[in-house]
Amino acid sequence: MEFEAYGRKVEVIHGDITKVEADAIVNAANEGLRGGGGVDGAIHRAGGGAIMAECRKIGRCPTGSAVITTAGRLPARYVIHAVGPIWRGGNSGEPELLRSAYETSLRLAKEHGLKSIAFPSISTGAYGFPLEKACPIAIKAVLDHLAGKTSLERVIFVLFTKDDYETYVNQARDLLSGRAS
């Protein structure tokens, strides 16, 4: 499903982010940038050792922030490793930290002059952030970024399950009412 916001494209797709051709794909990383399961494992497996080599040089990334590396063998040019919060019930700053992980990723993309970026649903897998709460935070952070001056022309949300995809489409429709195409 494709939407338009501030003259830019916002796409919601059901699929595997390691297959997406974009200037950058975002990884749902951990503070140690060590790789792991879920989307993180899939990105390192598909992209090869060059990504981990750069992660090791960088070292760590605090929750709510993000760092950028090569994308190795992936069809993207860069991987932005964003660290979302672990869900601890919702009163430990999780919404703000999640928004900050998206904002930092978008800022890095802009600083590198990138035109397209693809996001997975950060924190909603192993980190336990409820998807229905995370989804509007993700979409609003993107819309607020697109409302300002940015190099980005296309933002893609890549959802791995059909249920998550449908939640995102409905939420994007609500937040962009009248602008769906």
Sites of contact with ligand ADP (CB under 6 A):
16-18, 28, 38-40, 42, 84, 120-127, 158, 160-161, 164
What does the DSSP 8-state code read for residue 6? T
Between 38 and 173, whose beta carbon lies closer to ligand ADP? 38
Cα–Cα dist 153/6, whole Å: 10
How many beta carbons lie within 10 A of that of residue 74, not counting itself?
23
Smallest distance from the beta carbon of 150 to ligand ADP, in angstroms? 23
CA dist 15 → 78, 86, 136, 138 (Å): 19, 24, 20, 18
Smallest distance from the beta carbon of 64 to ligand ADP, in angstroms? 12
Between 17 and 114, whose beta carbon lies closer to ligand ADP? 17
Active-site residue set: 40
Between 28 and 146, whose beta carbon lies closer to ligand ADP? 28
Cα–Cα dist 33/9, whole Å: 30
Smallest distance from the beta carbon of 113 to ligand ADP, in angstroms? 25
Per 3-state DSSP, the chain is made up of helix, strand and coil in percentages (nearest 5) of 40, 20, 40
